[in-house]
Amino acid sequence: MTVSEITEEVEAPAADERPVARLQLIVAGLFLVFGVLGLLIISIQLVSPGFLGGVGFLSYGRMLPNAMSDVVNGWLVLGSIAAAFAIVPRVTGVPLARPTTAMAALGLTTLGYLIGGLAVLFGGSEGRYLLELPLWADAIVLLGLVAAARVVSATAGKGRDLAAPAWFFVAAMWWLVLLHIVGNIPGVVGVNSAILTAFYRAGLVGMFFAIAGLGIVAYLIPAETGATAPGNRQLTRLGFWSMAFVWAWTAPRFLVFSPAPDWYETIGTMFSIGLVVPALIVLADIAVTMRGSWERAFASVPLKFALAGAGMFALAVIVNLFQSLRSVGGVVQFTEWMSAYDWLLFLGAFSFWLFAFGYHELARHTGSVAVRAATWHLRLSTIGLALALGSMWVAGLQQGLYWVGAANAQEALPVGDGAIGFVAPLAAHHVVRVVGIGLYLVGALVFLGVLLRRGASVAPIGELPDVAAETPAESPAEEETVEEDMFEDIITVGPMRRRRVTIGAVSLFAVSFLFVGFFPMLEGDHSTPTLLADQARDYEGQAADGRQIYLAEGCWYCHTQQVRTAVTDVGLGGASLPGDYAYEVPALFGEQRMGPDLMHVAERDADAGALAAHLADPQASKSWSTMPSYDYLSDADMSDLVAYLGTLED
């Protein structure tokens, strides 16, 4: 089927259909800028803890989840849906179905992410990484995601043989809906809450962002180069299904050394190693599609973004593999390596693919001004991200190796005054991180500026891109042949019907969730309280209120509550058992050790008055501390928080 034949089948898009993808991309760009600005603020606070101090909603522990939600949800989710709304109609040859529903989906998801993020800023965090938004906000978002998935599926059509980008987006959208449902199951207790969170995190990366991003790449490369897509798309199918399946099964790698079952951790390591295979398949598929067109990559800024994103994606797979190994995890787990991995994916690979899509949409209408802006954006983002990631990787290694060295030498424990050994030396790395994220923010502002100034020129939804206008040809006949061959190969990739894709996607999700999400929760010792849990971790009254403040202030981002069976944790107290968390919703294993582990903090710091003074002014007693001041808490809240910390004993 040629472009002219497709165009004859496509009815003129309705007037209210045209702005949906454009508007959604602009909204996503706004979320990106605010999210990166938030990351810049918290990076500055690591250098100067008093920066914007005294204001509760600007504290580190509240700004961090809000900033990550803006980047992950507001920017990447909304931007990926915008790409789906634009690309699926083009490769299927029909206008976007249900444009009113698409606009409603944009409104609901934007509203949910916006007010949910504000709720987190003002103390409403759920206390689970990437799932901090309150349940009522998640319900609003879910309505929007279901509406968006229905629009994409309806556009793909019932009896239609789908092009690769179309079935990538159809599956990704329904995987996102299912992940949002299972990830927000309320009332999951203890270790099981950590298992559920791990499954959501792995699924969000591998079953939505990776698949939607690869859908963008599958569309973008032929559209930018005029190249012919490979005739045998079995490689694409194999990469698609294996990538989503294997990445979901890497979820346990987030819980290495945790109280989760050993067999569960082994699964995570095995599939993290196995993830290299689908990653190689995906990269091979990209290389085949680019065959004969590599010179075009040097002239196309969107292709530069897309290929840079592919390189970061490959690097993330390798980092994921190493972090899943216990020998490596014993060093870098709970260090800035963990944040660097997320930034590599969220600010790197997935964002770069969305940048590529955005500039591809704008380039043919904005001319050289957009190209120059995009070039500067590429440079600023690449340099800035390299500086930020480099500083975080070096800081993580330095921190982890200090823990190992101190434990082997039987020196001071990394708690109290001993924490200076892994906190103070990181100051220089944090300065570099500030510079890097600052440059990235400037690039994001350039991108948003282009969207706001030139966004009205984005091609209407359902309009096929004029590839020939961008690709030099020796004659009109050759120009038409390039255009026809490109779309012929995109659309005739093989019989992949929407129904088959949907059933396969739901089945794959069900199998993955059963084995990596549900079955591990059935372990009996997860729900059987230990003596520690019965005596000290069944929170009531003031301690229960204090724990809610601990959640709201995001203390668990910087302080773990998990003593691992690793050499680095020797001397921190008894190793954590599953039953220790039997009463906790959620279990606060923690994300990093920017400060000491607090699993048994009451055994070390029993003086409530001294603890309250430290919370009010950490630098007064430890000038090197990066901990923010909590002097904005009321006397009652401070008393509750101290009471909760006082329960954390052996």
Which among 482, 504, 521 is the end of a domain?
A: 521
Which of 282-296, 425-439, 559-573 tops mean pLDDT? 425-439
Mean local confidence (pLDDT), 217-225: 90
- 386 shares a domain with 263: yes
Residue 524 confidence (pLDDT) above 80: yes
When pLDDT is cut at 50, 70 and 90, the band that residue 10 belongs to is very low
CATH code, 560: 1.10.760.10
Which among 521, 540, 567 is the end of a domain?
A: 521
When pLDDT is cut at 50, 70 and 90, the band that residue 564 belongs to is very high
Residue 341 confidence (pLDDT) above 70: yes
What is the pLDDT, as a whole number, of residue 182?
97
Residue 9 confidence (pLDDT) above 80: no
Exposure string of 221-260, with b = 16+ CB inside 10 Å and e = fewer, is bbbbbbbbbbeebeebbbbbbbbbbbbbbbbbbbbbbbbb
The rounded Cα 358 to chain-centroid distance in angstroms is 19
- 338 shares a domain with 482: yes
- 294 shares a domain with 338: yes
CA atoms within 13 Å, Cβ hemisphere of 460: 15
Mean local confidence (pLDDT), 512-525: 94
- 509 shares a domain with 625: no
- 552 shares a domain with 503: no
Domain that holds residue 588: 528-646
- 570 shares a domain with 632: yes
What's the predicted TM-score (pTM) here? 0.91
| Cα radius of gyration (the chain) | 25
Q: Rounded to an integer, what distance in angstroms lies between the CA atom of residue 482 and that of residue 292? A: 13
- 92 shares a domain with 144: yes
When pLDDT is cut at 50, 70 and 90, the band that residue 257 belongs to is very high
What is the pLDDT, as a whole number, of residue 478?
40
What is the pLDDT, as a whole number, of residue 368?
57
Residue 204 confidence (pLDDT) above 90: yes
- 323 shares a domain with 246: yes
The percent of residues above 70 in pLDDT, for the chain, comes to 88
The three-state (H, E, C) secondary structure of 341-402, written as one string: HHHHHHHHHHHHHHHHHHHHHHHHHHCHHHHHHHHHHHHHHHHHHHHHHHHHHHHHHHHHHH
Residue 581 confidence (pLDDT) above 70: yes
Count of Cβ atoms closer than 10 Å to residue 107 Cβ: 15
DSSP 538: S
CATH code, 162: 1.20.210.10
Mean local confidence (pLDDT), 401-411: 82
Residue 144 confidence (pLDDT) above 90: yes
Q: DSSP states of 579-596 as a string?
A: GGGTT-SS----S--SS-
What is the pLDDT, as a whole number, of residue 455?
53
- 561 shares a domain with 427: no
Q: Rounded to an integer, what distance in angstroms lies between the CA atom of residue 65 and that of residue 591? A: 12
Collapsing DSSP to helix, strand or coil, 95 comes out as coil
The residues, any chain, with a CB within 8 Å of residue 196's CB and separated by 6 or more, are 182, 183, 185, 188, 517, 521
The rounded Cα 245 to chain-centroid distance in angstroms is 18
What is the pLDDT, as a whole number, of residue 475?
38
Residue 189 confidence (pLDDT) above 90: yes
Which among 497, 521, 545 is the end of a domain?
A: 521
- Look at the block and give the residue holding tokens 């190209």: 371
What is the pLDDT, as a whole number, of residue 369?
58
For the ranges 51-60, 159-168, 305-314, which has the lowest average pLDDT? 159-168
Mean local confidence (pLDDT), 164-179: 95
Residue 358 confidence (pLDDT) above 90: yes
What is the pLDDT, as a whole number, of residue 5?
35
- 492 shares a domain with 580: no
pLDDT per residue as tens digits for the range 617-637? 998 888 889 999 999 999 999
What is the pLDDT, as a whole number, of residue 470?
36
- 215 shares a domain with 343: yes
Given a contact cutoff of 8 angstroms between Cβ atoms, the answer to whether 285 and 238 are in contact is: no
Number of domains in the chain: 2
Residue 458 confidence (pLDDT) above 60: no
What is the pLDDT, as a whole number, of residue 297?
79
Residue 7 confidence (pLDDT) above 50: no
Residue 493 confidence (pLDDT) above 80: no
pLDDT per residue as tens digits for the range 63-86? 999 999 999 999 999 999 999 999
Q: Rounded to an integer, what distance in angstroms lies between the CA atom of residue 359 and that of residue 370? A: 8
- 406 shares a domain with 532: no
Burial class (CB in 10 A: 0-12, 13-18, 19+), 648: buried
Mean local confidence (pLDDT), 183-188: 94
Mean local confidence (pLDDT), 339-360: 96
| Degrees to nearest 5, angle at CA 192 with 191 and 193 | 90
The rounded Cα 138 to chain-centroid distance in angstroms is 16
Given a contact cutoff of 8 angstroms between Cβ atoms, the answer to whether 517 and 199 are in contact is: yes
The whole-chain average pLDDT of the chain stands at 87
